[in-house]
Amino acid sequence: MELRSKIPAGPIEQKWDRHRFEMKLVNPANKRKHTVIVVGSGLAGGAAAATLSELGYQVKCFCFQDSPRRAHSIAAQGGINAAKNYQNDGDSIYRLFYDTVKGGDFRSREANVYRLAQISVNIIDQCVAQGVPFAREYGGLLDNRSFGGAQVSRTFYARGQTGQQLLLGCYQALEKEIAKGGVTMYPRTEMLDLVVVDGRARGIVVRDMVTGKIEAHAADAVILGTGGYSNVFFLSTNAKGSNCTAIWRAHKRGAAFANPCYTQIHPTCIPQSGHHQSKLTLMSESLRNDGRVWVPKDPKDKRPPNEIPQAERDYYLERKYPSFGNLAPRDIASRAAKEACDAGRGVGPGGRGVYLDFADAIKRLGEEKIRERYGNLFEMYERITDENPYKVPMRIYPAPHYTMGGLWVDYNLMSTIPGLHVIGEANFSDHGANRLGASALMQGLADGYFVIPLTIGDYLASTKLPPVTTDLPEFRETVAEVEQRTKKLLSLNGTRTVDSFHRELGQLMWDKCGMARTAEGLQEALRIIPQLREEFWRSVRVPGADANINQALEKAGRVADFFELAELMCIDALHRNESCGGHFREEYQTEDGEAKRNDDEYAYVAAWSYTGDLHAPKLDKEPLTFEYVPLATRSYK
């Protein structure tokens, strides 16, 4: 298959402008004749649904939570980047573009990233106009903070709840459109399959999670904004419900999956406290602005942190990366923590933790200032660990957090199935092999508010779309397949719970396809996963009926898909014989343990297509060229 990225011609600064002019427009009177399905009500999906309705399209929006306001975007803490240069510290669209391409370890598409940087500016304007209460200075103007991987302050934030405030702004816009009748909202409704008619995405099949009813919805185009798949690891910072089902089902209907092995392990999470652990909690990366990361120099040093003298502490990030110090990008900071713990210098239960110490910042700025900046995060930490971080250094450890991989999309955010568009974390587009902090919110909103509303118009205006109804055989067959799968899950009557399988899969993925990977480990995982999957389909037990809320059934369907995706992740990780960004293959590292890219052979996007055989997906490559940011070894020293 040829992967046509459809990047517009011309100099990078003009591509988006030119494309906007060249795209076909839908006549305003015709817009309301078009129905668009948006799956997901997070920043990406919610923004898209609201904006499309404002433009006049008929929108149907779906989410599995009981309200669109609860999408996982709500949990983002730290902030959102934008090249406003309000701080006059040398930021610009070009610099944000540059930082993002470099931060992504040269595995993203320049044109997309440049557009993202351009649009970042409009996002802040839009959100402020909606009433998002971003932090401000005494003069009344917007405040900024710096974030990992950048040397300028370009991150806008609302206390430690930036994602919440952005999502609420977006949700309110969505509710406004729901009230006007432009959007029909389907909460507690889970997409379980995609319907393709004549090679085009024309609808979805969903399960009403309250009544259990399985139903089809038809439309002229389908947009997936269903978030990331970090929960393949079972323990991650994602919400419990986050899942890969929508994109995985679309993948099995023909959408190529790009770079599935690019996962981000976030350096600052609260360490696991026991085997009962159900999820991991992120401590915003912004903490690294004032906190210093260290471990004892001596592995045998088991004294409480406050008794360890300065000289016997290893502030390893400051030591190894003097110019970025504690603000080194995530992949680097995570790996450094793992290294320290692997060397036996980790702290806390099981030696899986490093200190994030605020003592110096408190001395310098006073406890009040620290409270103002991070008060709610400190409280959260104390609630979970029962330790007071004003007095004792925090303990942190890396945890799966974000997935750069996702469905392959072109410049218009359309997947390899015509009519199926993918936005937000669900697509692969802008972050390459590693995402910089505060860039996911930016991307989700850029996609949702500013890109998809225009590019979908181009698709609708330039495509002949015969009317379809859910009576077509394609719809009926898909509904029947989904019903059958559900019945099967309920009928297995085995002995093990869904969670027990999920935990086992997660542990395996964490060990073999987590922060560091080896060919050997991946091969082993590829041997075990199919066995485990088979056992799942043989001996899982899903109690209850289909006709009402059945949370075990919901989980079972999601875990079944994780099992399949896990295999693809390992295949991708195994094929990529290099280390880049979040993908670290132990075989490919420099002498001092840094990632060693192989640009000659791997400067491409790996797009995998489903062939009917999970063990043998088909690989297509979209070559990446770097005209503006010259390929270079990433250094944060």
Partner 1 sequence: MAGTMNLTLHVWRQPTPSAEGRLVTYQVGDISPDMSFLEMLDVLNERLQEGGEEPIAFDHDCREGICGSCSLMINGVAHGPMKGTATCQLHMRSFKDGDVIYIEPWRARAFPVMKDLCVDRSAFDRIIAAGGYVSVRTGAAQDANALPIPKDAVDDAMDAAQCIGCGACVAACPNGSASLFTAAKITHLGLLPQGQPERYRRALSMVRQMDLEDFGHCTLFGECMEACPKEISIDTITRMNRDFISAGLKVRE
Ligand X SMILES: Cc1cc2nc3c(=O)[nH]c(=O)nc-3n(C[C@H](O)[C@H](O)[C@H](O)COP(=O)(O)OP(=O)(O)OC[C@H]3O[C@@H](n4cnc5c(N)ncnc54)[C@H](O)[C@@H]3O)c2cc1C
Q: Cβ atoms within 10 A of the Cβ of 541, count?
A: 16
Q: Is 551 in the site for partner 1 (CB under 8 A)?
A: yes
In the list partner 1, ligand X, none, the entry touching 375 (Cβ below 5 to 8 angstroms by class) is none
Closest CB 552 distance from partner 1, rounded Å = 6
Q: Is 165 in the site for ligand X (CB under 6 A)?
A: no
Q: Is 185 in the site for partner 1 (CB under 8 A)?
A: yes
The alpha carbons of the chain give a radius of gyration, in whole angstroms, of 24
Positions in 509-528 near partner 1 (CB under 8 A) = none
Backbone φ and ψ of 204, nearest 5°: -140, 160
Cβ atoms of residues 277 and 235 within 8 Å: yes
Rounded CA gap, 602 and 576, in Å?
7
Q: Is 502 in the site for partner 1 (CB under 8 A)?
A: no
Q: Is 171 in the site for partner 1 (CB under 8 A)?
A: yes
Contacts of 551 (CB under 8 A, 6+ apart): none
Q: Is 193 in the site for ligand X (CB under 6 A)?
A: no
Contacts of 185 (CB under 8 A, 6+ apart): 41, 61, 63, 68, 174, 178
Q: Is 126 in the site for partner 1 (CB under 8 A)?
A: yes
Q: Which is nearer to ligand X, 113 or 574 (CB)?
A: 113
Q: Which two tokens stand for residue 598?
A: 């192989």
Q: Which is nearer to ligand X, 554 or 594 (CB)?
A: 554
In the list ligand X, partner 1, none, the entry touching 441 (Cβ below 5 to 8 angstroms by class) is ligand X
Please identify which residue in 22, 66, 360, 587 interacts with partner 1, judged by CB under 8 A.
Answer: 66
- Which amino acid makes up residue 74? I
In the list partner 1, ligand X, none, the entry touching 78 (Cβ below 5 to 8 angstroms by class) is ligand X
Please identify which residue in 61, 80, 93, 124 interacts with partner 1, judged by CB under 8 A.
Answer: 124
**Catalytic entry in 330, 435, 585, 634:** 330
Q: How many residues does the chain have?
A: 637
Please identify which residue in 100, 161, 236, 326 interacts with partner 1, judged by CB under 8 A.
Answer: 161
Please identify which residue in 120, 226, 231, 486 interacts with ligand X, judged by CB under 6 A.
Answer: 226
Q: Is 499 in the site for partner 1 (CB under 8 A)?
A: yes
In the list ligand X, partner 1, none, the entry touching 139 (Cβ below 5 to 8 angstroms by class) is partner 1
Q: Which is nearer to ligand X, 60 or 576 (CB)?
A: 60
In the list ligand X, partner 1, none, the entry touching 616 (Cβ below 5 to 8 angstroms by class) is none
Q: Which is nearer to ligand X, 300 or 383 (CB)?
A: 383
Q: Is 9 in the site for partner 1 (CB under 8 A)?
A: no
Positions in 352-411 near ligand X (CB under 6 A) = 401-402
Q: What do you get for the CA distance between the two ends of the chain, in Å? A: 41
Positions in 29-68 near ligand X (CB under 6 A) = 39-45, 62-65
Rounded CA gap, 314 and 312, in Å?
7
Q: Is 50 in the site for partner 1 (CB under 8 A)?
A: yes
Q: Cβ atoms within 10 A of the Cβ of 21, count?
A: 9
Cβ atoms of residues 153 and 144 within 8 Å: yes
Rounded CA gap, 171 and 43, in Å?
8
Q: Is 76 in the site for ligand X (CB under 6 A)?
A: yes
Positions in 263-292 near partner 1 (CB under 8 A) = 273-274, 276-279, 281-282
> DSSP class of residue 25?
-
Give the bridge partners for 607, in sequence order. 258, 620
DSSP per-residue string spanning 338-393: HHHHHTT---SGGG--EEEE-HHHHHHH-HHHHHHHHHHHHHHHHHHH---TTTS-
Q: Is 173 in the site for ligand X (CB under 6 A)?
A: no
Which range in 212-220, 391-399, 433-441, 529-537 contacts ligand X by CB under 6 A?
433-441
61 three-class SS? strand
In the list ligand X, partner 1, none, the entry touching 425 (Cβ below 5 to 8 angstroms by class) is ligand X
Q: Is 243 in the site for ligand X (CB under 6 A)?
A: yes
Q: Is 451 in the site for partner 1 (CB under 8 A)?
A: no
Q: Is 23 in the site for partner 1 (CB under 8 A)?
A: no
Rounded CA gap, 61 and 223, in Å?
9
CA distances from 552 to 348, 462, 504, 544 (A): 34, 43, 17, 8
Q: Is 135 in the site for partner 1 (CB under 8 A)?
A: yes
Examine the residue annotation and report whether 503 is marked as an active-site residue of this protein.
no
Q: Is 175 in the site for partner 1 (CB under 8 A)?
A: yes
In the list partner 1, ligand X, none, the entry touching 44 (Cβ below 5 to 8 angstroms by class) is ligand X
Q: Is 141 in the site for partner 1 (CB under 8 A)?
A: yes
Q: Which two tokens stand for residue 411?
A: 């410049």
* Residue where the block lists tokens 């700025």: 365
Q: Cβ atoms within 10 A of the Cβ of 600, count?
A: 7
Helices (H) and strands (E) in the chain, counts: 18, 19
Give the bridge partners for 25, in sequence order. none
Closest CB 526 distance from partner 1, rounded Å = 28
* Residue where the block lists tokens 């922060």: 515
Q: Is 486 in the site for ligand X (CB under 6 A)?
A: no
CA 621, 625, 626, 630 dihedral sign is: positive
Rounded CA gap, 210 and 556, in Å?
16
Q: Is 282 in the site for ligand X (CB under 6 A)?
A: yes
Please identify which residue in 108, 238, 334, 416 interacts with ligand X, judged by CB under 6 A.
Answer: 238
Q: Is 492 in the site for partner 1 (CB under 8 A)?
A: no
Closest CB 628 distance from partner 1, rounded Å = 26
Closest CB 421 distance from ligand X, rounded Å = 13
Return the closest-CA partner of residue 570 out of 623, 527, 622: 527
Closest CB 441 distance from ligand X, rounded Å = 4
Positions in 386-445 near partner 1 (CB under 8 A) = 386
Residue 202, classified by CB atoms within 10 Å of its CB into exposed (0-12), middle (13-18) or buried (19+), is: buried
> DSSP class of residue 400?
E
The residues annotated with a catalytic role in the active site are 330
Binding site for ligand X (CB under 6 A): 39-45, 62-65, 71-73, 75-80, 162-163, 190-191, 225-228, 237-238, 242-243, 245-246, 282, 401-402, 424-426, 438-441, 444
